[in-house]
Amino acid sequence: MTKQTVRQEEPIAAIATPVGVGALAIVRMSGRGVFAVADRVFRRRGGGAFSFAEAEGFTAHFGTLSDKGGMVDEVIALVFRAPSSFTTEDMVEFTCHGGPVVVRQVLQALLDGGCRLAEPGEFTRRAFLNGRIDLLQAEAIGEMIHARTEAACRTAATQMQGALSLRLQEMREGLLHSCALLELELDFSEEDVEFQSREDLEASVLRLEAEISRLVESYREGHMVAEGVSTVIAGRPNAGKSTLLNRLLGEERAIVSHMPGTTRDYIEECFVHEKTMFRLTDTAGLRESGEEIEHEGIRRSYRKISEADLILYMLDVSGEDAPDEARAAGRLRREHPEARMILVANKTDLAPDGSLRVAELEELSGCPVAGMAARSGEGVEELKGLMASMVEGLDKLQEASVLVTSLRHYEALRNAADSLCNARQLIEAGEATELIAFELRSALDYVGEITGKVVSEELLNTIFSRFCIGK
Ligand SMILES: Nc1nc2c(ncn2[C@@H]2O[C@H](COP(=O)(O)OP(=O)(O)OP(=O)(O)O)[C@@H](O)[C@H]2O)c(=O)[nH]1
Ligand SMILES: [Mg+2]
């Protein structure tokens, strides 16, 4: 790409580092005319003629930055020339001192100099629109910034490097090839020719379907790595669920009281144990009665349970109905075979024969049991260990593993797999070429949605609005 071919949009500027006090901060700008803006505000130390338009890319220059009121700070200016920059446009980054007032003044000087304030994710959006990265890579940057565990960070890094993009690109090429041959057949429809034998076509569709299904399946692990293991604390009112949530978080987050039905709406918080992130949800206690609001809370509890990766089913081990509760837990587990479950036998301090009951409860529920006294914190560390062991391996994912981590990608892949399955059935049934071509085209579009080959303005807005300003 030569300099002339890069389309440069209006100049934008933003603070790229977090708000607050730090040693240094970065204010960046990108777009048409940013070198002129930089010339207006920056004087190179040692004087002499210097202009950004003449400076080479990847060079750093020390000097002062001024606004109308005079000098603001001593800064380093980094020059990136199109197309060799993050956005592929001309860019200048100023590294200044990291006080909030200094940083704001530097930004204001650039805005006064002719830049517009960037929107959230606008730098990355330009990198995508200018073809430097695809949509998957752009999203990976966002995931990396928000990653809370090493594994999440590593998976995002792999995606940023383009591992998944490459796989999808290969699939697209395979599909395009088959579509092209089918469309050629349609052009020659009078003559009844087959440019690719139906057996070959079926085999290649089957191969693609298998590969896409593998990616679809990786989402179970992938989303647990990226977003945390969705962990729901469920059980009857007063079992001690909110007490456990507070224990796991190490803070008094949820209201605890002896009144059954204290928690009405669910409460969500994250905590990281060793290298695994858990997204904990405390729910309203499950029971039949209760008034309207509690009833709605219970409905939400069931919804959360159905979405969980891990269910901590809590019961009061001192209560007479503990065996019934253990059976109820077993039923819940069978209703949600996808989720893992731990039976938390709480209030062992009130049950003199607590240890004896653990074995019995295990038998009745068919789940591993963690005995505990949530109020005093006894058994909480053991529970954390058990939770980690139930999702073992998540923290050890290798750099090379290509995982689907986002719901958007997962849904597009599932749709693509469905279209391929339809195509295969049509081929098997000896159906018309048009119908097969239609299904393959839609599979192609679904795969293209992921990397951004087929994309709507609305989707881009949703994706980039989640970024910070300055990224
Ligand atoms: N003795 C004893 N009491 C406990 C223990 N854990 C919790 N409790 C008490 O049990 C009562 C209910 O605790 P919560 O944590 O509010 O129970 P919950 O399951 O969230 O109840 P709901 O929100 O009503 O569904 C409170 O009075 C707690 O102090 C425990 O290990 N031992
Ligand atoms: Mg509660």
**Are residues 275 and 383 both part of a single domain?**
yes
Specify the CATH number for the domain of residue 257: 3.40.50.300
What gap in Å lies between CA 320 and CA 16, rounded to an integer?
59
Question: Token digits for 335?
Answer: 């209703």
User: In this structure, which residues have their CB less than 5 angstroms from ion ligand 2?
Assistant: 241-242, 262-263
Q: How remote is the CA of residue 7 from the centroid of ligand 1, in Å?
A: 62
Distance in angstroms (rounded) separating the CA atoms of residues 140 and 145: 9
Q: Does residue 80 sit in the same domain as residue 110?
A: yes
Q: Whose CA is nearest to atom 16 of ligand 1?
A: 256
Please say if the pLDDT value at position 406 is more than 80: yes
- Give the number of the ligand closest to the Cα of residue 237: 1
Does residue 467 lie within any of the structural domains? no
Q: Do residues 383 and 412 both lie within one domain?
A: no
Ligand nearest to the CA of 312: 1
Give Cα 411 distance to the centre of its chain: 14
**Does residue 183 have a pLDDT over 90?**
no
**Per-residue confidence (pLDDT) for residue 290, from 0 to 100:** 65
Task: State whether 388 and 338 are in the same domain.
Answer: yes
* Interatomic CA distance for residues 441 and 176, integer angstroms: 8
In tens, the pLDDT along 69-82 reads: 999 999 999 999 99
Q: What residue ranges line ligand 1, CB within 6 angstroms?
A: 237-243, 256-258, 260-263, 284-285, 346-347, 349-350, 373-375
Taken in order 340, 346, 348, 352, the sign of the CA dihedral is: negative
Mutate to test the pocket of ligand 1, among 246, 253, 314, 375 (most ligand atoms within 8 A of CB): 375
Residue 471 lies in a domain: no
Q: 433-451 and 407-428 helices cross at what angle (nearest 10)?
A: 170
In a domain? residue 93: yes
Confidence of residue 203 (pLDDT cuts 50, 70, 90): very high
Instruction: Kindly state whether residue 293 falls inside one of the protein's structural domains.
Output: yes
Residues 414 and 434 reside in one and the same domain: yes
Which atom of ligand 1 is the closest one to the Cα of 244?
15
167 falls within a domain: yes
Do both 364 and 233 map to the same domain? yes
Nearest atom within ligand 1 for CA of residue 243: 15
Domain boundary among 106, 134, 162: 134
State pLDDT tens for residues 105-127.
Answer: 999 999 999 999 999 999 999 99
pLDDT of residue 4: 47
Give the closest residue (by CA) to ligand 1 atom 14. Answer: 240
The ligand that comes nearest to the alpha carbon of residue 258 is 1
Residue 143 lies in a domain: no
CATH number at residue 118: 3.30.1360.120
Same domain, 237 and 383: yes
Domain boundary among 396, 416, 443: 396
Q: What's the rounded mean pLDDT across residues 210-215? A: 92
Give the number of domains in the chain. Answer: 3
pLDDT of residue 50: 92
Residues 245 and 202 in one domain: no
Q: What is the pLDDT of residue 101?
A: 95
Q: For tokens 């940023």, what's the residue?
A: 160
Closest residue to atom 24 of ligand 1, CA basis = 261
Residue 376 CA, closest ligand 1 atom number: 31
Q: What is the pLDDT of residues 270-315, one digit of tens each?
A: 999 988 899 999 998 888 866 788 888 888 888 999 999 999 999 9
Q: What is the 3-state secondary structure (H, E, C) of the chain?
A: CCHHHCCCCCCEEEECCCCCCEEEEEEEEECCCHHHHHHHHEEECCCCCCCCCCCCCCEEEEEEEEECCEEEEEEEEEEECCCCCCCCCCEEEEEEEECHHHHHHHHHHHHHCCCEECCECHHHHHHHHCCCCCHHHHHHHHHHHHCCCHHHHHHHHHHHCCHHHHHHHHHHHHHHHHHHHHHHHHHCHHHCCCCCCHHHHHHHHHHHHHHHHHHHHHHHHHHHHHHCEEEEEEECCCCCHHHHHHHHHCCCCCCCCCCCCCCCCCEEEEEEECCEEEEEEECCCCCCCCCHHHHHHHHHHHHHHHHCCEEEEEEECCCCCHHHHHHHHHHHHHHCCCCEEEEEEECHHHCCCHHHHHHHHHHHHCCCEEECECCCCECHHHHHHHHHHHCCCHHHCCCCCCCCCCHHHHHHHHHHHHHHHHHHHHHHCCCCHHHHHHHHHHHHHHHHHHHCCCCCHHHHHHHHHCCCECC
Most ligand 1 atoms within 8 A of CB, residue of 241, 243, 257 to mutate: 243
Q: What is the pLDDT of residue 5?
A: 61
Pick the residue whose CA is nearest to atom 21 on ligand 1: 238
| Full residue range of the structural domain in which residue 110 is found | 3-134
Q: Kindly give the number of the ligand 1 atom that is closest to the alpha carbon of 260.
A: 24
Ligand closest to CA 371: 1
Q: Which atom of ligand 1 is found nearest the CA of 239?
A: 19
Q: Is residue 460 part of a domain?
A: no
Domain membership flag for residue 461: no
Specify the CATH number for the domain of residue 191: 1.20.120.430
* Minimum-distance ligand 1 atom for the alpha carbon of 236: 25
On whether both 111 and 244 belong to a single domain, the answer is no
Tell me: do 388 and 248 sit in the same domain.
yes
The stretch 364-374 carries a mean pLDDT of 93
143/59 Cα distance (integer angstroms): 30
% of the chain with per-residue pLDDT over 70: 96
Q: Which of 396, 412, 432 is the last residue of a domain?
A: 396
Q: Please check whether residues 168 and 41 belong to one and the same domain.
A: no
pLDDT for residue 398 is more than 60:
no
CA nearest 91: which of 42, 7, 29, 39?
29
Atom of ligand 1 nearest to the CA of 263: 23
- Mean pLDDT, range 28-56, rounded to an integer: 94
Question: Domain check: are 124 and 184 in the same one?
Answer: no
User: What is the arithmetic mean of pLDDT over 88-110?
Assistant: 97
Write the residue with the smallest CA distance to atom 12 of ligand 1.
Answer: 238
If phi over 0 gives left and psi between -120 and 50 gives alpha, with beta otherwise, what is residue 235? Answer: left
Give, using CA atoms, the residue closest to atom 13 of ligand 1. 240
- Between 294 and 329, the more confident residue is 329
